[in-house]
Amino acid sequence: MSEIILSVKDLTISFQTLDGKVSAVRGVNFDLKKGETLAIVGESGSGKSVSMKAINRVLPQKNTVYDQGEILYQGKNLLELSEREMEKIRGRKIAMIFQDPMTSLNPTMTVGKQIAESILIHEKMPKDKAMMEAIELMRLVGIRNPEESCKNYPHQFSGGMRQRVMIALSLACKPDILIADEPTTALDVTIQSQILDLIDDLKAKLNMSVIFITHDLGVVAHVADRVAVMYAGRIIEIGTAEEIFYNPQHPYTWGLICSMPSLDTKDASLYSIPGAPPNLLHMPKGDAFAPRNAYALAIDFEEEPPFFTVSASHAAATWLLHPDAPKVTPPPEIIRRQHIFNSFMKKDKGGEAYVGSHAASGR
């Protein structure tokens, strides 16, 4: 059994705003195993980034309220640590890559100095040795001629190369956990594939665990060992990548899969989940997805569903899994989309189907 390196238990987070209390994260639970990639997927506003930023305690302190829960790393609850104690973990043990490297990199410093500075903050060593380490990291992430490139500023790099710099910066202290928050969204589709392969290769070389945040199911299939699907601040289905793609149980997961474009479809229209996510200021009674759910039962509008076990590694929070629920057949579009994942899945990386499908989605 793989070692569990991180456990998030009943994490509940709200934001105090002028309009009232926003329930951003509601009772999130998951474990992260050593050496695995866990993908967190869902629409914008589902709570993916908030949950993961909470792990590194980088949410704004002024209006963030950790209502309840634990984030356990090496036997410590990160929510109970002081800021000084967190500084020893943030970046050194748990690192993050953000979506837009141009807003994360300092435009007034050379990239080599920025990477070396990260090393110096956490490691006691001479500056020249830190710069040598920075150059080796740049070489590791595939930046050509790193001895010269380290003297350049962020604006002198392409988008893909800036993201490689960000990855090098994140790996400066060889962290145990890397959190990647939609790191390929702004990139050309071909570069996306290269960055995904790079993160996967580095994970294997450095024996890291990776949490990958995305709304793109093609990315999920390409990198993930396990997948957690989030909706309205709550994980509503979790399982291995194969289970989520080939045996999805929650109607929201069905909708996400049906929304994925296929180059082979003869239908020019693209499916979209009807309606919109709920207002987190005023959560509806029962299941938050019920108003958008064509398969909703009467109980969905009264009680939030618990998790039902599908297998030892797969569970979903839907009343459709209750023993007394009527049998429901997933939409036929699910089957028509599943053939896409055969070429996407991690075992068969980098194929033309990966690039082609992303091109079709306009990402």
Q: Give the pLDDT score at 216.
A: 84
For 166-202, write each residue's pLDDT tens digit.
989 888 888 999 999 988 776 777 788 888 888 888 8
Task: Tell me: pLDDT of 79 over 90.
Answer: yes
Task: Tell me: pLDDT of 355 over 70.
Answer: no
Nearest in space to 61 (alpha carbons), one of 15, 116, 29: 15
Compute the average pLDDT of residues 4-18.
96
- CA-to-CA distance for 291 and 190, rounded, in angstroms? 38
φ, ψ at 173 (rounded to 5°) = -110, 20
Backbone CA torsion sign across 353, 356, 361, 363? positive
Task: Tell me: pLDDT of 102 over 60.
Answer: yes
* CB neighbourhood size of 353 (10 A): 18
Mean pLDDT of the chain: 87
The b-or-e profile of 96-108 (16+ CB within 10 A means b, else e) is: bbbbbbeebbeee
Task: Tell me: pLDDT of 64 over 70.
Answer: yes
Class of 33-50+89-93+177-363 in CATH: alpha beta
For the chain, the structural domain boundaries read 33-50+89-93+177-363, 102-174
